[in-house]
């Protein structure tokens, strides 16, 4: 499932997507457990527009983090079947 949070600012017709969350296995990843590499450019375009991306999976956080390099430090993760929620913060 892919979920998007949409905000309607000022009551106008223009709606802004603020967050996109997706399940990994069987939704976002292909049968080889990989995402389409064209997503990397799309991810950084969404980031520039202020759209947050959340990868959700039953897998462990470390596995998800490695799968999404080089984007991992700029996204959110829901891992271990929802029991672990993480936003990487590098200082």
What amino acid positions are annotated as catalytic residues?
A: 23
- 46 HSE (CA, 13 A, CB side): 19
Rounded to whole angstroms, the Cα distance separating 23 from 89 reads 22
Q: What element of type H or E holds 84? A: strand 84-87
């Amino acid at each position: 499932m892919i979920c998007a949070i949409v905000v309607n600012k000022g009551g106008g017709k223009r709606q802004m997507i603020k967050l996109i969350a997706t399940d990994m296995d069987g939704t976002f990843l292909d049968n080889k457990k990989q995402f389409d590499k064209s997503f990397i450019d799309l991810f950084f375009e969404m980031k520039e527009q202020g759209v947050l991306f959340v990868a959700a999976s039953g897998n462990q956080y470390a596995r998800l983090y490695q799968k999404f390099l080089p984007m991992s430090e700029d996204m959110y993760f829901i891992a271990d079947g929802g029991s672990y929620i993480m936003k990487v913060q590098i200082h």
